[in-house]
Chains A and B, each alone.
Chain A
Amino acid sequence: MNEEKSGQMNELGDMGAMAWVNAGLTARYRRERRFKFFGLAAIAASLMFLVLLLGAIAIKGYTAFRQTQILLDIHFAPAVFDVHNLASANYAALVRDATLSLFPQAMDRQDRRAAIKLVSIGAAYQLQEMVTRKPELIGATKPIWVLAAGEVDMFVKGHISRDVTENERRISDKQATWIDQLAASGRLRQTFNATFFQAGDSRESELAGIRGAVMGSFFTLAVTLAFSFPIGVAAAVYLEEFAPKNRWADLIEVNINNLAAVPSIVFGLLGLAVFLNCMNLPRSASLVGGLVLTLMTLPTIIIASRASLRSVPSSIREAALGIGASQMQTVVHHVLPLSMPGMMTGAIIGMARALGETAPLLMIGMVAFIVDVPRGFSDPATVLPVQIYLWANNPERAFVERTAAAIMVLLLLLLAINASAVLLRNKFERRW
C-alpha cells in the first residue's frame, strides 16, 4: 500500500513536473502582465497630471506673449520742447492730444478721461525715447504704434467679457465702442509682447516684464554657483580623499545629509541674521540671495560630489599612488577629472533647485516691488519665482496671464538646465 502510493507519487511527480510548471506559467505571465499594467497606469496617471498642469498654465498664459497696440498720429509740436532738455517735455500731453483727436465725439471731462485711459502711460516714455534718439522728429507728425492700456489689451483678447453689466467690468460701454471703432479703422493691432521680456516689474500690467526678475535670478545663481561649487567640491574632496575615516567623519556626514533636508526658509532666516544683521550686506541684493542659496545648495553639491568621487574606482588611485604620485597629485591628476562630470551634474541640479527657490529669499527682502532691472550684484533685485509669487497675488486679469507666462519661462529655463545635466552625463559618463 505504502509502496504503491509512493510509486504513484513518484510517477505523478515525474510526469507532473512539466504540467506543474505549465500551470504555474500562465499564472506567472498573468502576474507579470498585471504588474506591467500597474506600472503603465502609474506613468499614465502622472503624465496626465503633468499635462493638465502644463496645459492649464499654457492656456492661461499664452496670450501674454501678444500685446495690443494703438496707432496714434503724434504731432511733435515744437512748442512743447525745450531744445536743451528734451527729456523734460510733456510727452503725456502729446499722447493725450493725439488720442483725443481720434475721438472728436468725446467732449465732456469724463469722456475725455475715459478716452485717454485707452492708451498706456508707457506711450509717453516711448515718445520720449524716440525724440531723444531722433530730435529731428520735432515739428513732424508721425503715425506711431503705442501700447494700449492693460484693460484694452484684456478686452481685445476677450478676457473682459461684453456680456457682464457695465459697472462690473473695467471697460465702459463707451470705451468698448471706441475700441471697436479703432479696430474697424485699422488702428488696433496685436504684436509680439517684447515688453514682457525687456521690462522690469510695473504697476501697469502692460508695462510689466520679467527682465528684472530674470536678471535677478541670473545674478543670484551666479553668486550661488561661484560660492557653492568650489566650496562643495573642496569639502567633498577633503572628506572623501583625505579625511581620516573616524567618528568625526561620520558625524560630519550625518550633519551634511541633515542639512540637505533642512527646510529652505531656515537658511533664509540664517541669512537674515548673519548676512544682513551682522555683516550689514545690502538688503534685497542678489549677492545676499546668492549666499543664502549657497548655504542651501552646498549639501546637495557635497553629497553629489562625494558620490561622484566614490564612483572613481580605487584601482585608479592605486595606479597613481603605485608609481609614486602623492595623494594630492593622485586627486588632482586623476580622480578629480574623472569625477568632474558627476560633480557638475550635481551642481547643475543644485542650481535648478536654487532657481526655483522662493522662501529663503523672502526672508532677506528679495520680495520687494522693484521696477529697475538690476545691473549688478548689490542692486535690489528679485528672482523669477518670487516675481511669480508677487504677480500671483495680483487679482488683475492681465497679471494672471503674466503669472502663467512667467511660470512658462521658468519651466523652460529649468528644462534647459536639467537637459544640460542629462547631456553632460550622457556625454561624459564612464562605466568601469
Chain B
Amino acid sequence: MTAESLAFFFLAAFAVSTAILMVLQRNPVMSAICMIGTFFSLAGLYLLLHAQLLAVLQVVIYTGAIMVLVLFVIMLLNLGDEARLRERYDLAMGVGTVLAAGFVVELFFILFYSGDPALRASMDPRAAALGTVEGMGGALFGRFVLPFEMTSVLLLVAVVGAVVLAKRKG
C-alpha cells in the first residue's frame, strides 16, 4: 500500500466519520464543528487528486466563510433548548429507517462487490493540469463559461428569494 492510498483511506474515513457524527450530534455547534472536519478532509482528498486550487478554495470558502456563517446563524437563532431537537419515533420513521438502510446496503453492494470494470482504476493524466489555477481558469472561462455565468443568476435568485421571504412587512 503506497503512502498515497494510505492518505486516501485515512482522509476518506475521517470525512465519512465526521459526516456521520455531524448528523448524530444533538448540539448544533458540535455538528458545525464536525462539518468543518468533513470539509478539511475533502480538501485533503482534492490535494491527492492534484487539484491544488480546489483544495485551497475548499478551505477558504467552505471551512472559512461558509462555516463562520453557519456558526453565526446558529448563535443568532439562539437554540438554547437542545431537547427540542429530540425526535419522535413512530411507525413512519421506522419504515423510513429500514428503507434508507436497505438503500445504503444496496448501493454498497452494487458499487463495491460487483467488480465493475467501468470505474477507472487510474487517474486521468490530464487531471494534474486541470488542478492548477491556469487549468481551472481555462475550464471556467472556456468550456464552462455559460454554466459559470448562469450560476450567478442562480445565486442572485437565491438572494432575492431570501430577501423577499424574510423582509419585514412594509
Are A and B part of the same complex? no
